[in-house]
Amino acid sequence: MPKSAYQPASRSPVTRSRAFYSVRLWSVRHSRGLERIYKLLAGVFLKLHPFWKFVGYKRAEKPVVLIEKTVKSFLFDCRMCGQCVLSDTGMSCPMNCPKSLRNGPCGGVRANGNCEVEPDMPCVWVQAWKGSRNMRAGDNILHVQPPVDHSWRGSSAWLRATAQSAEEKDAQKTEAG
């Protein structure tokens, strides 16, 4: 095993193996289906906006984070950055890039499409490009992403996105009315 400073969450370099990436790679292969599921889920969450408001977004945070973390950790090896861009990056989580690149592959990608830092890991961004080609909104990968806000780490991206779209909806309503 090559020596490396990069430590994926809760894994020791000794136990890491190619098999570890198989679910993540499955998700990329099924990016189109996952995109559809995510859209549905986002719709449901938005419909539940009055409920979240009633409970309080802050109070809902803890149980939602628990579910979100479990699901996304299993499917994408999610790192809970709190500002999910999976639907813009071909369902390949960019926070798994050892350089946390959020805007495309670095120049160090190996000729076999593996990572420069982790020689046995397929490059997150080579996968992202593949996944995005199967998605309806795949060209979102061409948008420049803002820097990560590290103070959002560990919070629910789902609730944040819901609150945001609810706000936008309200704004549209007031504009129309």
Partner 1 sequence: MMTPTPHDISSPLPPLPGHTSRGRLERVLRAGEFAVTAELNPPDSADPNEVFDRGAVFDGWVDGINATDGSGANCHMSSVGICALLTRVGYSPIMQISCRDHNRIAIQGNVLGAAAMGVNNILCLTGDGVQAGDQPGAKPVFDLDCMSLLRTIRLMRDEGRFLSGRKITSPPQVFLGAAINPFAPPYDFRPLRLAKKIEAGAQFVQSQYCFDIPMLERYMDQVRDMGLDEQCYILVGVGPLASARAAKWIRSNVPGIHIPDSIIDRLEGAENQKLEGKKICIEMLQHVREMKGVSGAHVMAYRQEELVAEIVHESGILKGRRPWTRENNPDYEAVAEAIETVKDQSEHPIDPEEAVAAAFEEH
Q: How far is the CB of 163 from partner 1 (least distance, A)?
A: 22
Residue 110 CB, nearest approach to partner 1 (Å)? 7
Helix (H, G, I), strand (E, B), or coil: what is residue 28? Answer: helix
Q: Kindly report the number of other CB atoms within 10 A of residue 142's CB atom.
A: 10
The residue (of 11 and 39) whose beta carbon lies closer to partner 1 is: 11
To partner 1, the closest distance from the beta carbon of 108 in angstroms equals: 3
Q: Please identify, using beta-carbon distances, which residue of 29 and 49 lies nearer to partner 1.
A: 29
Assess contact for 7 and 13: CB atoms under 8 A: yes
Cα separation, 6 vs 4, in Å, equals 5
Taking the complex as a whole, the smallest distance from the CB of residue 169 to partner 1 amounts, in Å, to: 27
90 burial type by CB count under 10 A (0-12 exposed, 13-18 middle, 19+ buried): buried
Considering beta carbons, is residue 50 or 147 the nearer one to partner 1?
147
**Nearer of residues 19 and 144 to partner 1, judged by Cβ:** 144
**Rounded distance between C-alpha atoms, residue 79 and residue 151, angstroms:** 14
Binding site for partner 1 (CB under 8 A): 2-6, 98-111, 113, 116-117, 123, 125-126, 129-130, 142, 144-148, 150
Please report which helix (H) or strand (E) contains residue 51, including its range.
helix 49-55
Nearer to partner 1, 64 or 128 (CB): 128
Burial zone of 95 (CB within 10 Å; 0-12 exposed, 13-18 middle, 19+ buried): buried
Q: What is the closest distance, in whole angstroms, from the C-beta atom of residue 25 to partner 1 in the complex?
A: 15
